[in-house]
Amino acid sequence: MPLKLLKCDEAIPEREKHVYIKEKGEDTTQFLPSSNVETIPGSLSERGCSYCGAKLVIGGVLKDTIQLIHGPIGCAYDTWHTKRYPSDNGNFQLKYVWSSDMKESHVVFGGEKQLKKSILEAFAEFPDIKRMIVYSTCATALIGDDIRAVVKSAEKELGDVDIFCVECPGFAGVSQSKGHHVLNIGWVNEKVGTFEPEITSPYTINVIGDYNIQGDTFVLEKYMEKMGVQIIAHFTGNGTYDSLRGMHRAQLNVTNCARSAGYIANELKKRYGIPRLDVDTWGFDYAKEGLRKIGAFFGIEDRAEAVIAEEVAKYESKLAWYKERLTGKKVCIWTGGPRLWHWTKALEDDLGMKVVAMSSKFGHQEDFEKVIARGQEGTIYIDDSNELEFFEVLDMVKPDLVLTGPRVGALVKKLHLPYVNGHGYHNGPYMGFEGAVNMARDMYNAIYSPLMKLAALDVRNDETEEDTSNQENNETLKEKSDEIAAYIKERTEEITTYIQERCLWQFHSRSWDREENINGVINTAIKILTGEEVGTETLNEKLYFADAKILVVELKVKFSWLASMEHAHIKAVLELVRQKLIGIAITGSLNAELNHSLY
């Protein structure tokens, strides 16, 4: 279906470019919602500002760093205590907020002296803390305060401190995504390579794009510790300032939130040759896949399987209990960006739920490519939704549950619809095996809460709607053709569709990086399937092997015909798959950012 103009948007018809409903046979070479552009006047956006993206999402998570906001007190308060990212040092980063407390007089006469005073006071109040990030805001950027000059002066005066500047006022970009980019690139330019970490394992990684929401990081740390893998740096969950300065010493970047931290993963690959392995850390099957890929990269698959076996034994039966009760339930995912494509297949494959609508606040075209590839026919995709659009879509899809943030959640609850906090979680962690069960539990509790039965009628019909979402997925493909060409084409479509729905390695931020990954993984998969020798000498070869090995295992389970296919046909099929993926993800892609100078 072409891009859709919702009824509530008739007064602002430009919104049609931002709404898409997927139909059979369509892919992202035909339709891609406009995204990462300025909010259309008249549309009440749910977006946050660019400063918020730098401070609240990334920098503010660090557990040993003073976060000094140079601006009015409201900018500091608005980004304090709104995210649930604990730490193992008494939650220092959650207890305090620092501001230069700009007043009208400072705006008129300049705030540099006030900033210098605030820096010195902050270090004096916390003598054990020697690291700081200073953020500019709209007010201080507009009057031209030179925060770098002030920071340089303060560092010289104090001697034993290290301060990083983030010059990203709220108006710098169209959403919080700009703040992600500015902090990522600024850090790799100024800080990475200025500290040498202690290496304690032959297997070293950076975990990029995990912010320890309700303990997510602790779950991932547990898995890596059992596998004997050293995490050099967490960007930035439970992370430290100096550990991020030593990111250049890792052998592999394990990337989760590609939207907020894909930039630094790209730069570490380009500047230091560290491969980027994108994983889904939410979802039961995805957790297995991620651990297996890391194990394959380092050649420690036995350790990965041991961790998987232990966790499956603990949690598989619990997840099955929830799946029985959640299968067929319809859900909307209205979050920032990456969780749309991280969660959609996890909810559908692990729990049998049906994702019927998705909305992104700050996603880029890359994010919509991923989520549309993974989504089902009939699903609604919206960029930068407004309140009226939310209401109209709810009436269209009549969901059983909405995963969103507290602001939209408050609106949803007024309609007597169950909601689970998709930003800070209800009762996390949500990552890994135990996280998948926690998330299922919170969704079950929300849907089956007795309060919903006591509330007024919601937007759903009284009748139970028949869920036919899986009928087409479970139908067998059309009869085999007698002609080899038709047979090859049919198998090509099956594998291409599966890869589009499951694999993140085809959707990196840059066109050249996508091409390298697609060629590397598919060529390695061909060698594995045909018994040819696979090289694993370089870090990139290890990365391709890790992705390809898991892909081959999954393809053999999914497609039984692969075991009896001739090697020549395997090569022909996967070569066509490679060409189709390049056509969809690169040459035919509508993602205008693939060749952008920022990427």
Strand partners, 68: 98, 134
Which has the closest alpha carbon to 325: 351, 297, 362, 286? Answer: 351
Rg for the chain, CA atoms, rounded: 24
Q: Following DSSP, what letter does each residue of 85-103 receive, concatenated?
A: ---SSS-HHHH--EE----
- CA–centroid distance for 466 within its chain: 32
Distance CA(512)–CA(499), nearest Å, equals: 19
Token pair in block for residue 87: 């730490």
142-147: long-range pairs with CB below 8 Å, 24+: 142/169, 143/107, 143/110, 143/111, 145/70, 145/110, 145/111, 145/112, 145/115, 146/112, 147/70, 147/112, 147/115
Q: Does residue 330 sit in helix, strand or coil? A: strand
Token pair in block for residue 491: 């198998």
Burial of 543 (0-12, 13-18, 19+ CB in 10 A): buried
Distance CA(247)–CA(269), nearest Å, equals: 11
Q: Does residue 2 sit in helix, strand or coil? A: coil
Q: Following DSSP, what letter does each residue of 236-279 receive, concatenated?
A: ETT--HHHHHTGGG-SEEEES-HHHHHHHHHHHHHHH---EEE-
Task: Give the model's pLDDT for residue 597.
Answer: 67
Q: Following DSSP, what letter does each residue of 13-44 receive, concatenated?
A: GGGGGGEEE--TT--TTT-----SSPPPTT--
Buried b (16+ CB within 10 A) or exposed e, 38-56: ebbeebebbbbbbbbbbbb
Distances (CA, A) of 594 to 27, 180, 456, 520: 17, 18, 48, 19
Phi, psi of 582 (to 5 degrees): -65, -40
The topology under which CATH files domain 317-467 is Rossmann fold (3.40.50)
Distance CA(350)–CA(362), nearest Å, equals: 27
Which has the closest alpha carbon to 364: 589, 579, 57, 166? Answer: 589
Say if CB 404 and CB 357 are below 8 A apart: no
Distance CA(5)–CA(39), nearest Å, equals: 16
Say if CB 548 and CB 528 are below 8 A apart: yes
Q: 50-190 sits in which CATH class? A: alpha beta
Distance CA(513)–CA(49), nearest Å, equals: 29
Token pair in block for residue 509: 């931020």
Q: Following DSSP, what letter does each residue of 132-159 receive, concatenated?
A: EEEEE-HHHHHTT--HHHHHHHHHHHHS
Strand partners, 135: 69, 166
Distance CA(467)–CA(465), nearest Å, equals: 6
Task: Give the model's pLDDT for residue 460.
Answer: 53
Distance CA(2)–CA(65), nearest Å, equals: 48
- The pTM is what? 0.91
Distance CA(542)–CA(254), nearest Å, equals: 13
Distances (CA, A) of 125 to 119, 122, 564: 10, 5, 71
Equal CATH topology for 50-190 and 204-305: yes
Q: How many CB atoms lie within 10 A of CB 375?
A: 25
- Per-residue pLDDT for the chain (599 aa), expressed as one digit of tens each? 589 999 999 999 999 999 999 999 898 999 999 999 999 998 989 999 999 999 999 999 999 999 999 999 999 998 987 788 999 999 999 999 999 999 999 999 999 999 999 999 999 999 999 999 999 999 999 999 999 999 999 999 999 999 999 999 999 999 999 999 999 999 999 999 999 999 999 999 999 999 999 999 999 999 999 999 999 999 999 999 999 999 999 999 999 999 999 999 999 999 999 999 999 999 999 999 999 999 999 999 999 999 999 999 999 999 999 999 999 999 999 998 899 999 999 999 999 999 999 999 999 999 999 999 999 999 999 999 999 999 999 999 999 999 999 889 988 888 889 999 999 999 999 999 999 999 999 999 999 988 776 665 545 555 444 444 444 443 433 343 346 778 888 999 999 999 999 999 999 988 999 999 999 999 999 999 999 999 999 999 999 999 999 999 999 999 999 999 999 899 999 999 999 999 999 999 999 888 876 65
Task: Give the model's pLDDT for residue 475.
Answer: 43
Write the DSSP symbol of residue 515: H
Token pair in block for residue 233: 């740096």
- Residue 370's Cβ-side half-sphere holds a number of Cα atoms within 13 Å equal to 30
Say if CB 52 and CB 170 are below 8 A apart: yes
Token pair in block for residue 214: 């309700």
End-to-end CA distance of the chain: give it in Å, rounded: 30
Which has the closest alpha carbon to 376: 400, 399, 358, 402? Answer: 358
Distance CA(599)–CA(588), nearest Å, equals: 18
**For the chain, domain boundaries:** 50-190, 204-305, 317-467, 476-587
The topology under which CATH files domain 204-305 is Rossmann fold (3.40.50)
Distances (CA, A) of 527 to 523, 531, 542, 548: 6, 6, 14, 10
